[in-house]
Amino acid sequence: MRIFRDFLKSIIVLLVIMMFFTIVTYVNNDIDKPYFDEKTTVPISVSDDKNAAGLGITFDDTIIYRDNTINSELFDDCYYALFINETDHYAYASKNAFKRMYPASMTKLMTAMIVLDKVNSKEISLDDVVTVSNYYDLSAKGGGVNELGRGSEITVKDLLYTLLIHSNNYYALILADYTAGSEEAFCELMNQKARSIGATNTHFSNPHGLDDVDHYTTAYDMYLIIKEAHKYEIIKDICSFSSYNYSYYNASGNLIEADVSATNFFLIDMAKLPANYNIEVWKTGTDIGAGNCLIMYLTKDGKDYVAVASCGESKALLYDAIVKMLCLVN
């Protein structure tokens, strides 16, 4: 009888030990699993007709994932680099594509789209004359000097073209106030549009892009943003200019003639674009946190491409990196 009791105790102890290890193994396996499956919930390519939960996110056209580092070793000088063949849905390069970063003046692509949405809805017109009613000063943030004092008059068209071509920070503020009534209201429109196209890792706190801890995006989201910007014919027209002439009336009523050059070195012969590429949409950006940035929507031999990168050291390294990316296409 005693032998039976000892045997029964041994069986119970063995069962307890087995149950313990089973529970530990289950818990460890569960912890190792990510909160969400990144390979099915965060695509790089988004289609308009299969949006997930209204956020523009799809599950069947992914061409790059968060852990994709294709050819990243070629871009040691870059904070991030992303080069996509949009036609064939193929990634040629990806480095830190989903890492949060400052967009600098690449922000202004979204600013331009919000303004043009208001133009397209007939709420405002490109021919509208805007009277500057506020005093703007971004000099403490490195935003330059504002030549348009309170009482100056300028058209929406000239504000918009100079915004993108020459990256004028003050023109972004003037457009925001005129379009939405305030900078805060305008930024809300920017964030709504970002979410609608699937750029859910983006938040805008200003329309010009100067560094701010609450103003961020990712290379992936910028890819989505420039794809959306490419749908606007006026943006494509603006991006074809290497320089732009315009005029405005200053606060004293004097007519001022102005001439600005594009900030994209490829357009002003300060960098050489590889053969057969055509730039359709672009935006540069420069700030301390953002580094030197450039995003472009290009075509080559009937195919569409998107390239975006940032290098902190110099513009020369940035353009070298962009050229290196573009040369990955045979």
Please name every residue paired with 258 in a beta bridge, in sequence order, or none if there are none. Answer: 246
Considering the entire predicted model, what is its pTM? 0.82
Please name every residue paired with 270 in a beta bridge, in sequence order, or none if there are none. Answer: none
Is residue 273 in some structural domain?
yes
Is residue 47 in some structural domain?
no
Domain extent for 284? 72-326
Q: Which residue has the tokens 């073209």?
A: 161
pLDDT single digits (tens) 290-323 = 999 999 999 999 999 999 999 988 999 999 999 9
Can you tell me the distance from the alpha carbon of 313 to that of 323, in angstroms, rounded to the nearest whole number? 16
Can you tell me the distance from the alpha carbon of 327 to that of 59, in angstroms, rounded to the nearest whole number? 30
3-state secondary structure of 1: coil
Which one, of 13, 94, 56, 98, lies nearest residue 192 by Cα? 56
Q: What is the pLDDT of residue 68?
A: 86
Q: In what order do the strands lie in the sheet with 255-261?
A: 129-131, 153-155, 243-249, 255-261
Is residue 23 in some structural domain?
no
Is residue 38 in some structural domain?
no
Burial class (CB in 10 A: 0-12, 13-18, 19+), 104: buried
Can you tell me the distance from the alpha carbon of 206 to that of 200, in angstroms, rounded to the nearest whole number? 17
Cα distances from 208 to residues 107, 136, 149, 191, 310, in angstroms, run: 6, 12, 18, 14, 17
Q: What is the pLDDT of residue 10?
A: 63
Q: What is the pLDDT of residue 141?
A: 83
- Look up residue 128 and give its DSSP letter: P
Can you tell me the distance from the alpha carbon of 229 to that of 193, in angstroms, rounded to the nearest whole number? 11
Is residue 53 in some structural domain?
no
Which one, of 145, 209, 197, 202, lies nearest residue 172 by Cα? 209
Can you tell me the distance from the alpha carbon of 42 to that of 64, in angstroms, rounded to the nearest whole number? 9
Please report the sign of the dihedral spanned by the C-alpha atoms of residue 241, residue 245, residue 249, residue 251: positive
Can you tell me the distance from the alpha carbon of 327 to that of 27, in angstroms, rounded to the nearest whole number? 48
Is residue 155 in some structural domain?
yes
Which residues does the chain have with pLDDT short of 70? 1-63
- Look up residue 19 and give its DSSP letter: H
Q: What is the pLDDT of residue 8?
A: 56
Residue 272's CB is within 10 A of a number of other CB atoms, namely: 10
CA 309 to the chain's CA centroid: 11
Is residue 199 in some structural domain?
yes
Which one, of 111, 165, 156, lies nearest residue 283 by Cα? 165
Is residue 15 in some structural domain?
no
Q: What mean pLDDT, rounded, does the chain reach?
A: 86
Can you tell me the distance from the alpha carbon of 288 to that of 209, in angstroms, rounded to the nearest whole number? 12
**CATH number of domain containing 206:** 3.40.710.10
Q: What is the pLDDT of residue 6?
A: 60
Q: How many domains does the chain have?
A: 1
**Which tokens in the block code for residue 89?**
């849905």
